[in-house]
Amino acid sequence: MTQTYSTELYPPIEPYDSGHLDVGDGQRIYWETSGDPEGTPVVFVHGGPGGGTGPAQRRYFDPAAYRIILFDQRGCGRSTPHIADGADLSVNTTDRLISDIETLRTHLGVERWLVFGGSWGSTLSLAYAQSHRDRVNGLILRGIFLLRRSEIDWYYNGGAGHIFPEQWDEFLAPVPENERGGDLVEVYHRLLTSDDRDVATAAAVAWSSWEAATSYLLPRPEQVAENSDPRFALAFAGIENHYFRNGGFLRENQLLDDAHLLDGIPGVIVQGRYDVVCPATSAHALHKAWPEAELIVVDHAGHSASEPGIVHHLVQATDRFASLR
């Protein structure tokens, strides 16, 4: 039976201000603000890492109630320099991204804000909140990714391929047959950093397409085509691989071990039951470690924030948190 949901995204809006902020290391991050300048501040932490932001992400928030802040993380989207143009990945780490968020908060004159993030955005949101809990008045998280080795192995070393075997074959296509039994994150690192631009691009497109093909309960070929754009794919795959082969620059299990630092912060966790990219076990583990957060498992959804059931519960959560200060 098909589930129907009444809650939809808010209508499209345009930013009232935007710019590029110098955060050091030769990096300038793109930011924008929309909605009510006097509204509850909310920062949207995008996924990937390397995904970037877009107009649809403004629409999870009531523009009459929120000051909506979007930004592109280092090396991707409209931030400069871009990975596809040869940006230095050595200055792209979780600690630096956390610092960038704080620099942006100070630049925009925000005292405390609601933090909203999904997938890798949930990882970075949790790490930020655990580092700067006094600046966070609430968390809305989706598709929980704790960046444990078991999660990386599930998705990139064969587990998810049992559910999407045709797409897994396409993910394996750039990998030499004699290397397919090894750690594919490391193999892809070699391919993505190849001096042969064609080799790097083919690997980036395969990596990026794999995620697009597995992120939805029902296929969305248009999203696979969008993720196959070489410039997007080079940033998306290059940054993701850099973070994942380095454990997200986090201690193993860090986000769960430090979940006590979230005590007193209200939260909502929205998780698709059939999320193959970030399986529900991680959301369940986070909820057990942070029980005051509400866990909502959406039975008719995969990974993407644009699944109807995910949209419904995310917008309901932002409506409920609109008066936080």
Which residue in the list 46, 287, 303, 312 is annotated as catalytic? 303
Q: Does 11 reside within a domain?
A: no
> Does a cis peptide bond (omega within 30 degrees of 0) precede residue 266?
no
- pLDDT at res. 43: 98
Rounded to an integer, what is the distance from CA 5 to the centroid of its chain?
24
- Residue ending a domain, among 233, 248, 263, is 248
Residues of the chain below pLDDT 70 = 1-2
Sign of the Cα torsion 13, 17, 18, 21 reads negative
Q: Are residues 23 and 136 in the same domain?
A: yes
Largest CA distance in the chain: 59
- Residue ending a domain, among 222, 248, 274, is 248
Structural domain count of the chain: 2
Q: Are residues 182 and 210 in the same domain?
A: yes
Lay out the sheet containing 17-24: strands in order across. 17-24, 27-35, 66-71, 40-45, 113-119, 136-144, 267-272, 294-298
Opening angle at CA 60, ends 59 and 61, nearest 5: 90
- pLDDT at res. 2: 61
Q: Are residues 92 and 228 in the same domain?
A: no
The Cα–Cα gap between 66 and 160 comes to 37
- pLDDT at res. 217: 93
Q: Are residues 125 and 190 in the same domain?
A: no
Q: Does 93 reside within a domain?
A: yes
- pLDDT at res. 21: 98
> Is residue 21 within 8 Å of residue 29, measured between CB atoms?
yes
Which residue in the list 72, 275, 287, 312 is annotated as catalytic? 275
- pLDDT at res. 280: 98
The Cα–Cα gap between 295 and 274 comes to 15
Q: Quick check: is 303 catalytic?
A: yes
Q: Are residues 51 and 143 in the same domain?
A: yes
The Cα–Cα gap between 29 and 101 comes to 10
- Residue ending a domain, among 248, 269, 289, is 248
pLDDT digits (tens, 9 = 90+) for 87-118: 899 999 999 999 999 999 999 999 999 999 99
Q: Quick check: is 242 catalytic?
A: no
Q: Does 210 reside within a domain?
A: yes
**Enclosing domain of residue 235:** 150-248
- pLDDT at res. 86: 86
Q: Does 12 reside within a domain?
A: no
Q: Does 60 reside within a domain?
A: yes
Q: Is 0.75 surpassed by the pTM of this model?
A: yes
pLDDT digits (tens, 9 = 90+) for 5-22: 878 999 999 999 999 999
Q: Quick check: is 132 catalytic?
A: no
Which residue in the list 34, 79, 119, 282 is annotated as catalytic? 119
| DSSP conformation class of 10 | P
Q: Does 2 reside within a domain?
A: no
Q: Are residues 229 and 189 in the same domain?
A: yes
Q: Are residues 40 and 134 in the same domain?
A: yes
Per the rule left: phi > 0, alpha: psi between -120 and 50, beta: everything else, 121 is alpha
